[in-house]
């Protein structure tokens, strides 16, 4: 049943964006619209989600694909190391978009200095480096290896909802949400000074409508190559995506 539903959703998206291209007569004829749609759905996008073990990589992948941790096809989650090799998770309605759950860096099995080769870094379009606390030396080493490959990478601070709840309990009436978020962001940036003043995206995978998820998506769209932008846009959970993909011309 789930496969039938996913295929139906995939078909609906194709119909929707065929209409967009067809209506946009400034750029397309009706005949070329179908070709543009087929090209759109054949553009591959490989997203690497990496970081140390236990930071919430799998849960983030599930949230981005609009799946719960117990849903069919969800990435396996757990407190211990559950990922032992790069594991692909295809988007349920965009089969050309694949999220790769990479094993945690810095574990006995995956040393930082051999991680890039073992994970086949050339495969991925961009990297999301996730940490649930402060960014550590392994995260910096990972970013340096990615930079050597001239790939895009972004720092994501996960489990922000846990920090907010903890601060609420501790400070009670003195709690200030914006002040707490600002402090977390500054602490993360302090540990990443060698990368200049990097953007750090604060995320709760339990509720993507909170915090910096929309900013992360907007940043990715602004920095990805044009022919990859719509593939990303159509993979974003529906409440966060733009309804117009007609400007992704390629």
- Residues 193-215: pLDDT tens digits? 888 888 999 999 999 988 999 99
DSSP 169-229: HHHGGG--HHHHHHHHHHHHHHTTGGGSS--EEE--TT-TTSTTHHHHHHHHHHHS-HHHH
Between residues 122 and 230, which one has the greater pLDDT?
A: 122
Residue 32: band (very low, low, confident or very high) from pLDDT cuts 50, 70, 90: low
- Residues 133-189: pLDDT tens digits? 889 888 888 898 899 889 999 999 999 999 999 999 998 889 899 999 999 999 899
Residue 36: band (very low, low, confident or very high) from pLDDT cuts 50, 70, 90: low
| Residue 13 CB partners (closer than 8 Å, separation 6+) | 93, 94, 234
Contact 188, 135 (CB under 8 A): yes
Give all domains of the chain, ordered by start, each with its CATH number.
Answer: 43-240 (3.40.50.300)
Q: In a 3-state reduction of DSSP, which class is residue 70?
A: coil
Contact 90, 109 (CB under 8 A): no
- Residues 57-89: pLDDT tens digits? 989 999 999 998 888 888 888 756 666 789 999
d(CA 118, CA 116): 6
């Amino acid at each position: 049943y789930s496969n039938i539903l996913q295929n139906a959703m995939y078909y609906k998206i194709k119909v929707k964006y065929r209409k967009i291209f067809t209506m946009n007569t400034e750029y397309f004829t009706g005949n070329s619209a179908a070709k543009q749609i087929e090209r759109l759905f054949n553009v591959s996008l490989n997203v690497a989600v990496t970081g140390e073990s236990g930071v919430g990589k799998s849960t983030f992948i599930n949230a981005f694909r609009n799946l719960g941790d117990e849903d069919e096809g969800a990435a396996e989650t757990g407190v211990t190391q559950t990922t032992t090799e790069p594991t692909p998770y295809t988007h349920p309605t965009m089969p050309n978009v694949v999220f790769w759950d990479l094993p945690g860096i810095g574990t006995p099995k995956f040393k930082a200095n051999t991680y890039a080769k073992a994970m086949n870094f050339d495969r991925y379009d961009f990297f999301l480096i996730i940490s649930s606390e402060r960014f550590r030396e392994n995260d910096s080493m990972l970013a340096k290896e990615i930079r050597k490959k001239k790939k895009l990478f972004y720092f994501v601070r996960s489990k922000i909802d846990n920090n907010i709840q903890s601060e609420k309990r501790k400070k009670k009436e003195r709690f200030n949400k914006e002040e707490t978020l600002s402090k977390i962001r500054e602490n993360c940036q302090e540990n990443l000074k060698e990368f200049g003043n990097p953007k750090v995206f604060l995320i709760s995978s339990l509720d993507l409508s909170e915090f910096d998820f929309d900013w992360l998506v907007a940043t990715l769209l602004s920095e990805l190559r044009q022919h990859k932008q719509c593939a990303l846009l159509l993979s974003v959970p529906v409440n966060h995506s733009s309804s117009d993909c007609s400007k992704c011309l390629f």
